[in-house]
Amino acid sequence: MTDILIVVGTESGNAQMVAELLEDELGAMDHAMEIKDEGDAAAMDLAGRDVVLICCSTHGDGELPDNIQPLADSLEQDKPDLSHIRYGVIALGDQTYQQTFCNGGKTMDGLFAARGARKIGERLEVDACTQPLPDEDALEWAKEWVTLL
């Protein structure tokens, strides 16, 4: 059993829906799941975490959703040591935005890596254009991901 914190970045709810499905499904596999979506790094208590799953969409022109921006700002400005953290990334985007596809998830991936966190597995990039139900892809990916922890 692993304690897993899912950090959600969402504007219109898709990433939240994915996170809630994973909370249920991985929880049923006896992992202890918690979702945080307020974006406040202090509230997430990353210092006390071992495994983080980032589930983040992209908005604007390759920008982060508003709710996760405070966490991104904190990682950039406060530069916490996250070398104790293993993390994975589910990035939601749309290939129509060719230049900025999944930039939100890519940005969070880069911020965690820059703080010394260790990525487990490859980042999943879900294209809303070809996969209208992002939770199916995400669940398949996540079941594999937890075996790598």
Ligand X SMILES: Cc1cc2nc3c(=O)[nH]c(=O)nc-3n(C[C@H](O)[C@H](O)[C@H](O)COP(=O)(O)O)c2cc1C
Using CB under 6 A, list all residues that contact ligand X.
10-15, 57-62, 65, 92-94, 97, 100-103, 128
> For residues 77 and 98, which CB has a smaller minimum distance to ligand X in the complex?
98
Q: Closest approach of Cβ 1 to ligand X, in Å?
A: 28
Residue nearest to ligand X (CB): 93
> For residues 82 and 109, which CB has a smaller minimum distance to ligand X in the complex?
109
Give whole-number Cα distances, 113 to 13, 46, 76, 87, 88, in Å. Answer: 26, 14, 12, 9, 11
Report yes or no: 75 and 111 within 8 Å, Cβ to Cβ: yes
Q: Closest approach of Cβ 83 to ligand X, in Å?
A: 29
Q: Closest approach of Cβ 84 to ligand X, in Å?
A: 28
> For residues 27 and 60, which CB has a smaller minimum distance to ligand X in the complex?
60
Q: Closest approach of Cβ 15 to ligand X, in Å?
A: 3
Query: Tokens 């999943």 sit at which residue?
Result: 124
From 43, 42, 48, 58, select the one nearest 103 (Cα to Cα): 58
